[in-house]
Amino acid sequence: MLTFPNNFLWGSAASAPQTEGHSLLNGKSLTTWDKWFELNPEKFNEKQGPKDTSNVYEFYADDIKRMKEIGMNSYRTSISWARLLPDGKTLNKEAVAFYRDYFEKLNESGVKPIINLFHFDMPWWLMEKGGWEASESVTAFAFYAKTAFEEFGDLVEEWTTFNEPLVHIECGYLYGFHYPAIVDFKKAIQVGYHTLMAHVLSVKAFKEIKAKGRIGIILNVTPTYARSDSNEDQQAKKAADLLVIKSFLDPCVLGTIPNELIELLKEHDLIPVTKTGDKENIEMYPVDFIGINYYQPMRVKAPENPVKPAVTTTDLFASYDWPDKRINPYRGWEIYPEALYDVAMMMKNEYHNIPWFVSENGMGVAEEERFMDESGMIQDDYRIDFMKEHLTQLHRGIDEGSNCFGYHTWTFVDCWSWLNGYRNRYGFYRVDLENNFERTLKKSGIWFKELSQNNGF
C-alpha cells in the first residue's frame, strides 16, 4: 500500500473554454477560439468548435455532485476573462453570479476550488490589438486578475495565474497550433515576456490587496533527457532546459531570470522589450506554490543544420525519438512515469522544496466506446494503470522529501480540446455528444474514489 501525505488533494483539472459552453451567450465576448472557429472551422476535428463544449454553464451543480461521488476533494478550473470582463473593463454581473454560485457549491460540497485565470483563451478585443505581443496585455491582465480576486476572494483560497504559458507561446508563435499561428521566434519571446510580467503583476496585486490564501502558476515542465553525453547533445539539453523549464520556473519561484538564458537570447538577437522596474517586481513577487502538468518527457538531441541567429527552437535543440519509448498511440505522446520522480527531485533540490502539486496528468484515448460493457460503462483499465504507474513514481519522490501536496488528473468529465475537438477522451465521466452531453461514470472513476478514500492504493 502506498499512502500519501495527510490532506493530500485528490482531484481533476479542466478549464472554462473547454467545459463551460455558452460561449456566445450570457454576455461573454469572443475569444480567439470562438473567432478562429468562425473563420476556419475546417481546422477543428470534425468541425467541433468551442461553442457548447460540455455545457458546465448549465450542469455545474450536478457535476459537483458527481465530483463527490468519485471522492474528489479538489477541482481546478478557470474563469473566462472574456466572460467576466467582456470588454476588458466592464463587469458582467451574470458571470459574477455564475462563478459565485459555482465556487460556493464547490466549497459547500468539500471540493476545494483552485481557480486559474488564463487557459489559452485570449479575448478577441485584445487579440485585435496584438494580444500578448502588445504591452497593453500586461496591464489588462493584471486588472482582470485583481477584479477576480476582489469578486471571488471570499470563496477561493487557491489561485493560479496561467495554465502552461509555454503553450500559448509555442503553439501561437512557433508551431502553428493556436491562433494567430505564426512562426516568429522574436515575437514568441516577447509574448513570453509579457506573459511573465502579466503573471508577476497579478501576484503583486494579490499581495497588495492582501487577498486570503495562496497564489501560484501552472507550468508544463518536465526534466529533459538528452540522447547522449556528447557535448553537442548536452548543449542542446541546456538550451532546452533554459527555454522550456527555467524560463518560467526560475523567475516565478526564485525571482530571477537566469543569466544564461539572457546570454542565449542575446546571442540569437531575441532579447524582448522590457520596462523599468520589471526586474524588481520579478524579485519581489515569487509564487507561493507551483502546479506541474505532466504528460510526457522531453527528449532532445543536437540540432541538425542549425542557423544563427536561431529562427526557431529547432536551431537550438532537436527532438529525439528514443527507440525504447512506450507510446500512447492516440495522442502520440510518450508514456514515461519515471519523469514524475525526477520532477519531484528537481522541485526539492533546485526550487527550495516549494509546495507543489501535480496539476494535470492523464491519458487521452480515442473511440473509447470500444471499451463499453453491457451496462454502458467504459472499462478504462488502461487509465487506471496509467495513474498507478505515475503515482508510484510520485510517491517515491514524496518519500524522499519532495513537498508535493496533491494529484489532479486531466480530467473530470470528457472535455473539448482545441483543434482536437472531442477526439481524445480523458474524463472519469464519459460525455455523450449525441445525447445532450449526458455524463456516464467510467471504471476509472470508481478506482479514483477508492484511491481518495484510502489516501493511497
List interacting residues with ligand BG6 (CB under 6 A): 15, 18, 163-164, 220, 293, 331, 360, 364, 410, 417, 420, 424
User: Considering 164, 170, 334, 368, which one is annotated as catalytic?
Assistant: 164
Least distance (Å) between residue 374 CB and ligand BG6: 29
Identify which of residues 334 and 360 has a Cβ nearer to ligand BG6 in the complex.
360
User: 448, 449, 429: which is closest to 376 by C-alpha?
Assistant: 429
Q: Which amino acid is at 63?
A: D
Record the cell numbers describing residue 252, joined without a space. 516565478
Q: Is 389 a catalytic residue?
A: no
β-strand 158-163 against 318-319: which pairing, if any?
unpaired
Identify which of residues 124 and 418 has a Cβ nearer to ligand BG6 in the complex.
418
Q: Residue 146 and residue 153: Cα distance in Å, rounded?
A: 10
Least distance (Å) between residue 18 CB and ligand BG6: 6
Least distance (Å) between residue 14 CB and ligand BG6: 8
Identify which of residues 289 and 457 has a Cβ nearer to ligand BG6 in the complex.
289
Identify which of residues 92 and 417 has a Cβ nearer to ligand BG6 in the complex.
417
Contact of 233 with 268, CB cutoff 8 Å: no
Q: Please state, as a whole number, how many other Cβ atoms lie within 10 Å of the Cβ of residue 118.
A: 28
Contact of 103 with 115, CB cutoff 8 Å: yes
Which phi and psi angles does 210 have, rounded to 5°?
55, 45
Identify which of residues 291 and 303 has a Cβ nearer to ligand BG6 in the complex.
291
Identify which of residues 163 and 190 has a Cβ nearer to ligand BG6 in the complex.
163
Record the cell numbers describing residue 67, joined without a space. 465530483
User: 259, 153, 131: which is closest to 212 by C-alpha?
Assistant: 153
Least distance (Å) between residue 9 CB and ligand BG6: 17
Least distance (Å) between residue 134 CB and ligand BG6: 24
Identify which of residues 257 and 365 has a Cβ nearer to ligand BG6 in the complex.
365
User: 281, 178, 192: which is closest to 242 by C-alpha?
Assistant: 192
List strands edge to edge, sheet with 298-301: 224-226, 298-301, 318-319
Cell 520532477, residue?
343
Residue nearest to ligand BG6 (CB): 417
Q: Residue 418 and residue 431: Cα distance in Å, rounded?
A: 16
Least distance (Å) between residue 410 CB and ligand BG6: 5
Q: Is 360 a catalytic residue?
A: yes
Contact of 137 with 199, CB cutoff 8 Å: no
Q: Residue 260 and residue 40: Cα distance in Å, rounded?
A: 40
Identify which of residues 410 and 428 has a Cβ nearer to ligand BG6 in the complex.
410
Helices (H) and strands (E) in the chain, counts: 16, 17
Angle, to 10 degrees, between the axis of helix 93-108 and the axis of helix 136-152?
50
Q: Reduce the DSSP state of residue 127 to 3 states and report it.
A: helix
Contact of 65 with 105, CB cutoff 8 Å: no
Least distance (Å) between residue 426 CB and ligand BG6: 6
C-alpha separations of 357 from 110, 136, 405 in Å: 19, 32, 5
Least distance (Å) between residue 58 CB and ligand BG6: 21
Contact of 421 with 358, CB cutoff 8 Å: no
Residue 180: is the preceding peptide bond cis (ω within 30°)? yes
| DSSP conformational letter for 42 | G
Residues with a known catalytic role: 164, 360
